[in-house]
Amino acid sequence: MQQTIVCKQFSFDAAHQLIGHKGKCANVHGHTYKLEVFAKGPVINRPGDSDDGFVIDFGDLKAIVKEFVVDPMDHSFLAQGDEPIIAELSTTGAKIYHLGVRSTCENMVKHIFEKLWTELPDLIDKIRLWETPTSYAETGVDDWRP
């Protein structure tokens, strides 16, 4: 069956710190992340149906990505979970997103893929996360199996 790929882009801002890193990222800093979500599937062929002609309605994809990824991560501190700064941030009411792993772009893209795969199994094909305008990490169904 012929498959079609669609892509929706998102952006969110977040801060993090890579404690022990040899470079500048050892300091608390932030990024405007650009997220590209690729969905792959057959084009729906149900004449007269609202979803006729779509792989997935971009509005439906947007709603899921916003609920499970963008809204929770946007304007948050991305925490592994054991950073000393977490206790201090918690006292200020700061928004903290617990990744459970070091907040590298590579770990984040895997985390996002797993979240979206849970919500859209067999439809999410690839996730690309841009940390800067020139640097990204990506993973996809060919690289990862739940």
Residues with catalytic annotation? 25, 75, 131
The SS3 assignment for 127 reads strand
- Asked whether 38 and 128 are in contact (CB, 8 A), the reply is yes
- DSSP summary character for residue 108: H
Give the DSSP per-residue string, 22-83: SSGGGS-EEEEEEEEEEEEEPPP--TTSTTTT-SS-HHHHHHHHIIIIIHHHTTEEEE-S--
The burial class, CB within 10 Å (0-12 / 13-18 / 19+), for 29 is exposed
